[in-house]
Amino acid sequence: MYIKKSIELNGRTLSIETGRLAKQAHGSALVRYGDTMVLVTVVANDEMTDQRDFMPLTVEYREKMFAAGKIPGGFIKREGRPNEKEILSARLIDRPIRPLFPDNFFYETQVIASVLSMDRENEPDVLAGVGASAALTFSDIPFEGPIATVRVCKLGEDFIINPTIDQMEESELELVVAGSEDSIMMVEGEAREVPEEQILQAISVAHEAIKKIIDLQKQIAAELNITKREVPEPEVPEGLEARVNELAAERIKHAIRIAEKTDRRKALKEIQEDVNTQLQEEFPESEGFIKTILHDLEKQLMRDMVLNEQRRLDGRGFKDIRPITCEVDLLPRVHGSALFTRGQTQALGTVTLGTKSDEQIVEALEGESSKRYLLHYNFPPFSTGEAKPIRGVSRREIGHGNLAERALEPVIPPAEEFPYTIRVVSEILESNGSSSMATVCAGSMALMAAGVPVKSTVAGIAMGLIKEDEQIAILSDILGDEDHLGDMDFKVAGTAKGITAVQMDIKISGISQEIMASALERAREGRLYIMEKMNEAIDKPRDEISPWAPKIIEIQIPVDKIGLIIGPGGKTIRSIIEESGSEIDINIDENGKVLIASPDMEAAYKAQRTIESMTEEPVIGKAYRGIVKRVKDFGCFVEFLPGREGMVHISELDVQRTNKVTDVVKEGDEIDVVITKIEPNGKIALSRKAFLRRKMKSTRPTYKRS
C-alpha cells in the first residue's frame, strides 16, 4: 500500500512515504525535506543467531555522489568504503534505535540509509534517523517506536529546527536530538562555550518538533495496520535461574565490591566458571543461559548497591572524581605532548604543527573542502588488557575522536592568527571509562604545550545514571562497568565559560529534562574541578612553538604578481624552493597571501627576500644592484629586480666619457644603478653614473667654518 504524508517544519515540507520503493524489504521509508531525499530500508532474518548476548544490529548510511550531481573523484569512479561523515551518521541512527528492540530479539537486523538526492541546503543525516524509525515502524519487526531525530541550532536568540547548511555554519550551537513522545534518547552536538541552560532550551525546542514527526509516522502506521512478528521467549530450563541465584548471588555481592577492575572481573569470571562446573550435569548445554542469568544478576545487584547503599563499584561517592595526574612535555621531539590520567583511564595527547599543504581534503556531497585542524583517537587493545587483532580504525574510534575534535574546536585560533595545520592525536594507554573525555583533557594540555594560542582550557567528564522507578542516582566520572550496567552515558566537555560538546546515549526508553538538567549541573562542577588539576600542569599556551616545528613567515604580494611567483607550470616557485637550500613549503592563496614554512629559518628568510624582490615595484631615485644581461652599442640592459630589466644608456655608464660600452661592463657583471625614469609604457631608464655621483658625494669630506 502506497501512503505519503507531510507536515510543515521550519517553513519547508517534510514528507514520509512508503509502499513505492524497495517493496521486498521488510520495511522502507522515503523521507524528503526540500529537495533532499533519503531512502531507508530495514530487514531482519527469520532465524535467531547463535550468539545471543548482544543485539545483532547493523546500520549503514551511504551518500551517493549522484545525489548531488557529482562523479566520485579518484581513479575508481564509484563510491568506496564509508567516509568519516557516513560512519558518524550511521552511529547517530544506531544509538537511539538500538535500545528499542526487545531484549530477546537476536535476529540479524540491517538498516540501510541511502541518500538519493541532496539539494546542498538540507542535511540528510537527520532525515535518515527519521527514516530508520519509520521503516522499522512500518515493518513487522518488533520495535518500541516510533521516534524521531532533528537538528537544532541557535541564531541570535532564536532556536532553529533543521537549519540550512549556511545557518549551521553561523550558529553558536548545533545539536542532533533523538527522542520519543515522552522523553529524550540521544543528544549529540557542539557549541561555542554555551551555558547549560541554553542546551536545555535547545533540547526542549527539539522535542516539540520530534513529537510532530512521530505523529506523522503514527498516522501512516495506523493506515498500514502492520502486525508485528512474535518473538519467542527463550526456553530457560525450569529451576535454572533459582539454582544460579542460590550458587552465585552472595559471591557476586562480594565481587562487585572489589574496587580494582581487573580483580573484580577476575572474581566474576571465577564465579561463572564455578557455576558452570557445578550445574553441568544438572543442566547440560546451558552455558549460554547461565552466562545471561549471571550478567542480569550482576547488573541487578550493582544497581541495588548504588541505589540502596549509595556505594559505587570502586567505593566512591556519587559526585567523586577519580584521582587525576597531569604531565606535559613527555616526548622531546614532538611539537607538544601531555599525559592525562584519571583513575584507570590514561590518554597520551600529542600535537603536530604543519603547513597548509598538510590540510586534509574532504570530498562530500556539499562540495570539496579542507580541514586545518584534525583530531585522531586510537584505542589499542592493550589499553583494556586484551589481545585482539588490529583491523584498521573502528567506528567507535572515529566517533570518539570526532566528539573530542568538536570539543576542542571552539578554542582553536583561526588561520589568520595562527597559520598552521594542527593535528592532535590521542593514544589511549589505559581505559576504564570515559577515554574520549580524557582525550579532550590531554589534547587541551598538549595544544598549550605546543604553543598553539588556544583561548582557554577545555575539560570533559562522563556522567552516568541508575534509574529504577522513582529511585535515581546520577554518577560523576563513570567507570566502564557503570556505563555497561547503567542507563546513561552523558559526556560533557567545555571551558569555564560553557559547553563546547555533548554526547548522550540512553539505554532505557528515555529520560526527563529534569534528570538531564541535574546531570548537566553535576558535569559543570566536575569539569571545573578537572580544570584545576590540568591548570596545575599548564594553564596557558607557551609563548613559543617547539624548535622542531616548522616556522612560518607570512607576506603579502599584489594579486597580479601571483602568476609571476608561480611561473609557468610552477617552474619559478620550484626554483625558489630549490635555491633556498632547505626543506621549505610555499603556499600562495588567491588574495596574494604567501606562507613560507621551514624548520630552517635562514632558508625561509632567503625565500622571503627572493619573493619580495620579485614583487617589488620599481621606485624612481632608488638604487639597486643588478646583473648585466645584454650589451649593445648604445648601452646595456640590466636586471635590477628578478624578472625586471632597465636600460643604462652609454652616456649613463660612468662619470667620465665612455667611448665603448664594453670598456665599462660586459655580460654577467654586477653593477649598481639608480632608476632615473619610468615611462608610461613601463620602460625603465637606469643610470650607473647617478649611483657613482651619489657615492662620491656621500664620501666627500666636509669642513666647518672657523
pLDDT value of position 499: 96
579 has a pLDDT exceeding 50: yes
Q: Are 140 and 229 in contact (CB under 8 A)?
A: yes
Structural contact between residues 499 and 523, judged by C-beta atoms closer than 8 angstroms: no
Give the 3-state secondary structure of residue 47: strand
User: What's the pLDDT tens digit per position in 340-377?
Assistant: 999 999 999 999 999 888 889 888 887 778 899 999 99
Q: Model confidence over 44-55: pLDDT tens digits?
A: 999 888 776 778
The set of cell numbers assigned to 270 is 571465577
C-alpha separations of 674 from 113, 637, 638, 685 in Å = 72, 13, 11, 9
Query: Residue 364: beta bridge partners?
Result: 367
Residues with Cβ within 8 Å of residue 638, at least 6 apart in sequence: 626, 627, 628, 629, 645, 646, 647, 648, 671, 673, 686
Residue 654 φ/ψ region, left for φ over 0, alpha for ψ in the -120 to 50 degree band, beta for the rest = beta
pLDDT score recorded for residue 706: 41
Neighbours of 315 (CB within 10 A): 10
When comparing pLDDT for 602 and 380, which is higher? Answer: 380
Averaged over 403-412, what is the pLDDT? 97
d(CA 454, CA 338): 15
Percent of the chain's residues with pLDDT above 70: 98
Residue extents of the structural domains in the chain: 3-224, 240-309, 326-345+395-534, 551-615, 623-699
pLDDT in tens, 192-207: 999 999 999 999 999 9
Give me the amino acid identity at 31.
V
Phi-psi region of 15 (alpha: psi -120 to 50; beta: other; left: phi over 0): beta
What pLDDT is recorded for position 52? 67
Tell me the three state secondary structure of residue 454: coil
Cα–Cα distance, 346 to 91 (Å, whole number): 25
The 10s digit of each residue's pLDDT in 260-317 is 888 999 999 999 999 999 998 888 888 888 998 999 999 999 999 999 999 999 889 9
Lowest mean pLDDT among 131-145, 223-237, 573-587: 573-587
CATH topology of domain 3-224: Ribosomal Protein S5; domain 2 (3.30.230)
623-699 has which CATH code? Answer: 2.40.50.140
- Stretch 616-640: mean pLDDT: 93
| CATH architecture of the domain with residue range 326-345+395-534 | 2-Layer Sandwich (3.30)
- Burial grade of 584 (CB within 10 A; 0-12, 13-18, 19 or more): buried
Buried b or exposed e, range 28-42, using 16+ CB within 10 angstroms: bbbbbbbebbbbbbb
Please determine, for residue 614, whether its predicted confidence score (pLDDT) is greater than 70.
yes
Burial class (CB in 10 A: 0-12, 13-18, 19+), 446: buried
Q: Which among 202, 279, 201 has a CA at the least distance from the CA of 240?
A: 279
Q: How far apart are CA 41 and CA 43, in angstroms?
A: 7
pLDDT at 485: 87
- Please give the mean pLDDT across all residues of the chain: 91
pLDDT digits (tens, 9 = 90+) for 474-509: 999 999 888 888 888 999 999 999 999 999 988 876
Determine the topology of domain 240-309 in CATH: Arc Repressor Mutant, subunit A (1.10.10)
Question: Is there a shared CATH topology between the 3-224 domain and the 326-345+395-534 domain?
Answer: yes
Topology adopted by domain 551-615: Ribosomal Protein S8; Chain: A, domain 1 (3.30.1370)
pLDDT at position 705: 47
pTM of the predicted model as reported, rounded to 2 decimal places: 0.86
pLDDT-above-90 percentage for the chain:
70
Grid look-up 544460579 returns 244
Q: If DSSP states are collapsed to H, E and C, what string results for 301-367?
A: HHHHHHHHHCCCCCCCCCCCCCCEEEEECCCCCCCEEEEEEECCEEEEEEEEEECHHHCEEEEECCE
pLDDT at residue 149 in the model = 98
Which of 97, 4, 80 is CA-nearest to residue 42?
Answer: 97
Reply yes or no on whether the pLDDT at 588 is more than 80.
Answer: no
pLDDT at 526: 95
The pLDDT confidence band at residue 631, using thresholds 50, 70 and 90, is very high
